[in-house]
Structure 1
Amino acid sequence: SEAQAATIEYVLDQKRRERPDLDRFFSEDRLSGFFVKNLENVQGDERDIMIFSIGYGPDEMGKITMNFGPLNKEGGHRRLNVAITRARRRVEVVSSLRASDFQPTNSMGVRHLHRYLEFAERGMSALALDISDDRRDAESPFEEEVLRLVTSWGFLAQPQVGVADYRIDIGVRDPARPGRYILGIECDGAMYHSSKVARDRDRLRQQVLERLGWQIYRIWGTAWYRNRANEAARLREAIESAMRGEYHKSRRNPATKIEVQYEELDFEQPPGWAQEYVVCKPRARSFYSMTDPAARRYLEEGIEQIVAVEGPIHIDLALRRLRTAWGAGRAGNQIRSSFESALLAVSDRGAVKLDRYRFLWPPQMGTPPVRYPSGDPESIRRIEFVAREELDLALLRFIQDARRIEEDDLTFSVARLFGWHRRGPEISQGLDDSVRRLLDSGKVRRDGGYLVAVDDEPISQVSQ
């Protein structure tokens, strides 16, 4: 919140008075300097390293109210997403709370913060099993009976914890930290024990879950119904042992641990479907000025070279390349007239194609390449100098890679790819228009708060 940001700034100022030798680290440069901002006004800023300070914690009575200011409001999860994606290289999290301190809540923003802290604490393994507060029903009468018994003992239990193939029948929560599960209970009916395939599959599944920190207790339905009292006593002892932190010591046949392999991805690297932008450097005939009629053929050659290398390229950008090559200054009426005459001749003989948005295309090009800036400053293009087909394709490829992605994540990723570190009004509008075109074309659809690709077909040059 603003109050917490102001407090941090005040303490920093006090410390800086004691250490004036550190002042050089507190530059106020707009693009690379130090800043302290709150969750609601940090959008658009990026730094190599961000310190994400969570200024909330237990009150004087030790109670956690689950009130996280702007995160609890509508769209709070989007504010959190903006905050945690400001770092180019690393986020340092400073928090008085752990993920296990969180209580169940209906706030999407707070639930996302809980998952983020869980990831910060446990790393990649936290992503393998999505623990949400969604209330699901037990899937069999056997599970319902076990659940009723566990809750009658005073334990906090929830059916169907997790997602997809890694859902656990019943999860028993830690009463001291309701955000943490101390034991997973699997209820295996008679059909389960009659299928060797099911047993083998679940044995591997259990090994994965235990490798990720879960403690699993299995109940065989036949044994439960034959001797319910004995099986109930064993279950209660397992839960109480787990609460004391002793469950793993009492197990007779612990599952063999497996090695989980992770693939490290460098998110600073551009995606494989994009390529580096190459700037054309046409050779000028310096003994002719651009407005000299004798320069006409050389202007035509220059236009063909530029389009072959940089197409699709906006007319104004192509003219700039020629002016740079000739060492010409501002594009006055005479220079522009000479350029347009040469362009008309090149276009009439089919050497380049001109679309209605004033982009020049190589004659045989259908699907344009998606291009990101190289080390050449001239390779950074304003959004109006990026053909809409290229921009739309970049958005579509990111959606296909992610399978499903929030719109703000999408536009942030595309802006970073094209080298736009600040999303001003023009860039934001251009990206929003691109999303709308993809939705209107049927290539992308909305799924709740996410965008999903309908198919994997590339975008061709359809808007000419």
Structure 2
Amino acid sequence: YHRSATARDRDKLREFVLRGLGWEIVRIWSTDWWVDAVGTAEKVHQRLNEILAESRAKQAVIDAAQEAERLKIDAAVAKVIEVVDQVSVVVAEETVPVANDLEGALPELKYAKAATVSVAEEVVAFAPVLNHPLYRETDPSQAVEGVDPDRFFDPSYTPTLEQMIAYVVSEEGPVLDTELARRIARAHGWVRTGSRIRDRVDQIARSRFRSHEEEQIGFFFWPAHLETDTSVVFRRAGDDDSTRGLAEICLPELSALAEEMALRGHEGETLVYAVAKEAGVSKLAHAGRLRIEKAIRQKREY
């Protein structure tokens, strides 16, 4: 049975899918179990303990990176609060003489303005730490009137689909082709997104928007306001329903996140886990790790 091609393919596919979901696979030979079940079970037990130790070591690295990131954010917040307090003090102390004696207090007024501008620049410098662009799933039916599933494949319905697709790409782009098709399908009341639906959406999207292909992932469609790959920034999930998988984030956007985490002092293994944490990944699988590492390498090539 196992020598048949279909059985081998199913066996490989099953392992591939499970590993992609974060599972570890330990294989044993049936003959080993038949000859020495106790010894074989002991070998499996030892291997499981090794995997457990490796998992705990990785989790310790993640916890350390998260704690370091939390301390950095706390320090940044404290700095912003301190700077804002300084602005309030400058305005309160230096502008009072102007109200009492406008003519004689002009030097103090100039000083107050200069100090306020200087402190304001510090606030702006720390603002990127706390202010991130957000990503939210969209409902393309909001962009049109009269969504009609019965006319989906009718040529006369193309303008309506163009508006819906343009809305999703503009709001969510760069967006993966399968996700774009899923948005359009759900807006028409379909739970499944068949190949005909995907082909229809892809044909319209490719005729209107810039796209790039990523191997084993698919095509990403770019909105008009992002003219180059380097102009994209990473977007955090705006709500619980808008969390994206790593495969749904294009490499340029993931690379932007890697650069952001590197600027915060992360490097090596901690950089990988910092990117995964910021991307909303609770458990980093092998495929996800490879994608993050590829994004890190790609950013360094820019």
Structure 1 residues 431 and 326, CA gap change in structure 2 (3 angstroms): same
**Aligned partners of 2:205, 2:55: CA distance in 1, in Å?**
46
How far 1:323 moved relative to its partner?
1.0
CA contact 1:43–1:83 (8 Å) conserved in 2: no
CA contact 2:168–2:180 (8 Å) conserved in 1: yes
**Aligned partners of 2:286, 2:236: CA distance in 1, in Å?**
21
Match of 1:354 in 2: 211
Task: Give deviations 1:396-425, integer Å, cap 9, x for gaps.
Answer: 1111122xx332111111111111011101
CA contact 2:66–2:274 (8 Å) conserved in 1: no
Q: Which has the higher contact order (CA 8 A, sep 6+)?
A: 2
**Aligned partners of 2:162, 2:52: CA distance in 1, in Å?**
54
Match of 2:61 in 1: 81
User: 2:292 aligned with 1:431, yes or no?
Assistant: yes
Match of 1:300 in 2: 162
Structure 1 residues 323 and 43, CA gap change in structure 2 (3 angstroms): farther
SS at match of 1:304: helix
| Equivalent of residue 406 in structure 1, options 267, 289, 300 | 267
Q: Considering fraction of residues, name the structure with more strand.
A: 1
Task: Give deviations 1:78-120, integer Å, cap 9, x for gaps.
Answer: xx53454577999xxxxxxxxxxxxxxxxxxxxxxxxxxxxxx
Structure 1 residues 295 and 43, CA gap change in structure 2 (3 angstroms): farther
**Aligned partners of 2:130, 2:269: CA distance in 1, in Å?**
22
User: 2:132 aligned with 1:274, yes or no?
Assistant: yes
Structure 1 residues 81 and 334, CA gap change in structure 2 (3 angstroms): closer
SS at match of 2:180: helix
Give, as a single letter, the amino acid of the residue that structure 2 aligns with 1:432. E
How far 1:38 moved relative to its partner?
7.5
How far 1:295 moved relative to its partner?
2.3
How far 1:369 moved relative to its partner?
2.4
Gaps of 5+ in 2: 1-50, 76-127
User: 2:281 aligned with 1:417, yes or no?
Assistant: no
Give, as a single letter, the amino acid of the residue that structure 2 aligns with 1:361. W
**Aligned partners of 1:292, 1:380: CA distance in 2, in Å?**
33
TM-score, scaled relative to structure 1: 0.36
SS at match of 2:213: coil
SS at match of 1:370: coil
How far 1:40 moved relative to its partner?
3.8
Q: Considering fraction of residues, name the structure with more helix.
A: 2
**Aligned partners of 2:175, 2:160: CA distance in 1, in Å?**
19
SS at match of 2:133: strand
How far 1:320 moved relative to its partner?
1.0
Task: Give deviations 1:363-398, integer Å, cap 9, x for gaps.
Answer: 231311211112242x11121211111111111111
Structure 1 residues 438 and 304, CA gap change in structure 2 (3 angstroms): same
Match of 1:327 in 2: 189
Structure 1 residues 300 and 433, CA gap change in structure 2 (3 angstroms): same
SS at match of 1:355: strand
User: 2:243 aligned with 1:380, yes or no?
Assistant: yes
Aligned length: 187
| Equivalent of residue 203 in structure 2, options 341, 345, 349 | 341
Give, as a single letter, the amino acid of the residue that structure 1 aligns with 2:190. A
Q: Could you say what the CA RMSD is over the residues aligned between the two structures, in angstroms?
A: 3.2
**Aligned partners of 1:309, 1:353: CA distance in 2, in Å?**
15
Task: Give deviations 1:319-375, integer Å, cap 9, x for gaps.
Answer: 111111111132223222321332244x2xxxx212233111112313112111122
Match of 2:253 in 1: 390
SS at match of 1:360: strand
CA contact 1:42–1:82 (8 Å) conserved in 2: no
Give, as a single letter, the amino acid of the residue that structure 1 aligns with 2:61. N
Structure 1 residues 337 and 84, CA gap change in structure 2 (3 angstroms): closer
Gaps of 5+ in 1: 1-36, 46-79, 91-123, 125-269, 444-464
Structure 1 residues 359 and 38, CA gap change in structure 2 (3 angstroms): closer
SS at match of 1:396: helix
TM-score, scaled relative to structure 2: 0.54
CA contact 1:370–1:391 (8 Å) conserved in 2: yes
Give, as a single letter, the amino acid of the residue that structure 2 aligns with 1:300. E
